Amino acid sequence: MEKSKINRRSFLGTMGATATGLALATNATAQTQATSATSPTPQSNQNVVTRTLPRTGEKVTALGLGTFLTFDLKPGDRRDALRQVFERYVAAGGRVVDTSPLYGSAEVSVGQFMGEFEGSSEMFLANKVWSTGEYLGDESHAVESFRQSRMRTWRAAINLMQCHSITNAPVIVPLMKAWKKEGLIGHVGVTHHESAAQDQLLTFVQRGDVDFIQTNYSIFNRDAERRLLPAAADKGVGVLINLPLEKARLMKVVEGQPLPGFAQEFGANSWAQFFLKWVMAHPAVTSVLCGTSNPDHMSDNVQAMTGPLPDERMRARMVAHMETIPGFGSIGTMPWYPGKENMYSGLIREAQANAAQRLR
C-alpha cells in the first residue's frame, strides 16, 4: 500500500520549541488531588466495551480520544467545541486520552478539561516524550518535557508515557523505565504512525522492553496484523491504535455510499462506527484512538464503544465490501483530512506556514 504523502515527523519537527513554550493553563475548578498511575474500572457507563491490561489487570475503554491536530488551537481561540467533544466522550463512558507535547496546545486543553471533570482520576492518560538532547545519552530535555507534561495535565503520575515515534529510544525507554520504578508513570510504551516502523516496534515487543505499543491500523491498512499484533498479544503488551479512520480518508471514500445492511448485525449505525468496530474487534487491540473537533462526530464515534463487535468472519466480509467501493484501494495517495485543508489551524499549522514562508 502506498504511504501517505504527509510524514508526521517532518510535519511536527518545527513544533518542539513552540509546544514547550506554552504557558500552563490554569482553571479554578482544576483538581488538586494527585492522580495515581492506575485507573479504576469506568463507572459512568458499564455497558461500554473494555479491555483488560494483561500486565496489571486494569480495565480501559476500547475507544480512546486522540488529540493530534484536532485539539490544537492558538492561544485565545475559543475551546467550547473541544470541551463538548471531551464531555461527550466521558459522558459515554470513555476513559482513555492520548496526547503529546508536540501536539501544539492539545496537551494544555487536555489538562484543563480533565481538571474540570469530576472523575478525572478514572482517566487513563497516555502521553509522550520526543527528545534527543544535546548529545547521545543526554536525558535533560526529556526530563524537562516530562516535568512540563505533568504540570500541563495536572498529574502527579501519568498512566502511560510513550517514546514518540521511537525518537532517541535507546535513551528514552530506559529513562521511562526508571520513571516507572519511581512511581511517576504506570506503563512504558513506544509509538509510530507508519507501517515502515512496525518492525522496530516489533523488536521492542519481542525484547520485553515495553508495556505498550502504539501503531497505525485500519480496515485499509492491515499491515500490523501480520506480525506486530500477534506478537503483542503473545507477550502481553497493550496496543493503542492510531489512524483508524485514516485521518478522515476512509470517510471521504464512502461519501454518498449506503452503509451495508449487514452492519446492523454488529450494531454499527454509521460508517465511522463500522470502521471503528472493525479495528476494536481485533483481539490484540487495547484501545482505538480517534480524534475529532466536532462534538456531533464524537457522539457518533462513542456508539462504536457499545454493543457487539464483528467476529472474524464478519471482519473479512467488511473488508470484502470495502474493496468494492471506488477509491478504497488508493486511500494511501490521498492527503490527510481531504476537503478540510483549512481546518485545524492551530500552532502546528501556523509553525509550518511560517517555516514555508521563510523559504520563499
Q: What is the mean pLDDT of each run of 10 residues along the chain (360 residues)?
A: 41 40 36 34 66 94 97 94 98 98 96 93 96 91 97 96 97 97 98 98 98 98 98 98 97 97 98 98 98 97 98 98 98 91 83 87
Q: What's the number of domains the chain is made of? A: 1
Specify the CATH number for the domain of residue 183.
Answer: 3.20.20.100
Given this model, what pLDDT does residue 37 score?
Answer: 37
For residues 173 and 187, give the distance between their C-alpha atoms in angstroms, rounded to a whole number.
Answer: 11
3-state secondary structure of 60: strand
In a domain, 2, yes or no: no
Q: Cβ contacts of residue 155 below 8 Å, gap of 6+?
A: 34, 35, 111, 125, 149
- Return d(Cα 289, Cα 283) in angstroms, integer: 16
Partners of residue 127 on adjacent β-strands: 161
Give the side-chain half-sphere CA count within 13 A for 67. Answer: 29
Q: Retrieve residue 287's grid coordinates.
A: 484501545
Cβ 103 vs Cβ 72: under 8 Å = yes
Q: Report how far residue 252's alpha carbon sits from residue 264's, in angstroms, rounded to the nearest whole number.
A: 21
Distance of CA 110 to the CA centre of its chain: 13
Residue 65 lies in a domain: yes
Q: How far is CA 129 from the centre of its chain?
A: 14
pLDDT for 305 equals 97
Residue 187's H or E segment, with its range, is strand 185-191
- At residue 357, the pLDDT reads 86
Helix, strand, or coil (residue 21): coil
- C-beta separation of 157 from 186 below 8 A: yes
Residue 29 lies in a domain: yes
Domain that holds residue 321: 8-358
Q: What is the pLDDT of residue 46?
A: 59
Instruction: Supply 199's cell numbers.
Output: 518492525
Tell me the C-alpha distance between 146 and 260, whole Å. 46
How buried is 227 (Cβ within 10 angstroms: 0-12 exposed, 13-18 middle, 19+ buried)? Answer: middle
Q: In angstroms, rounded to a whole number, what is the distance separating the alpha carbons of residues 64 and 286?
A: 9
Residue 3 in any domain: the answer is no
3-state secondary structure of 124: strand
pTM score of the predicted model: 0.87
Query: Is residue 120 a part of any domain in this protein?
Result: yes
d(CA 317, CA 311): 10
Residues contacting 326, CB < 8 A, separation 6+:
253
Residue 109 falls within a domain, yes or no?
Answer: yes
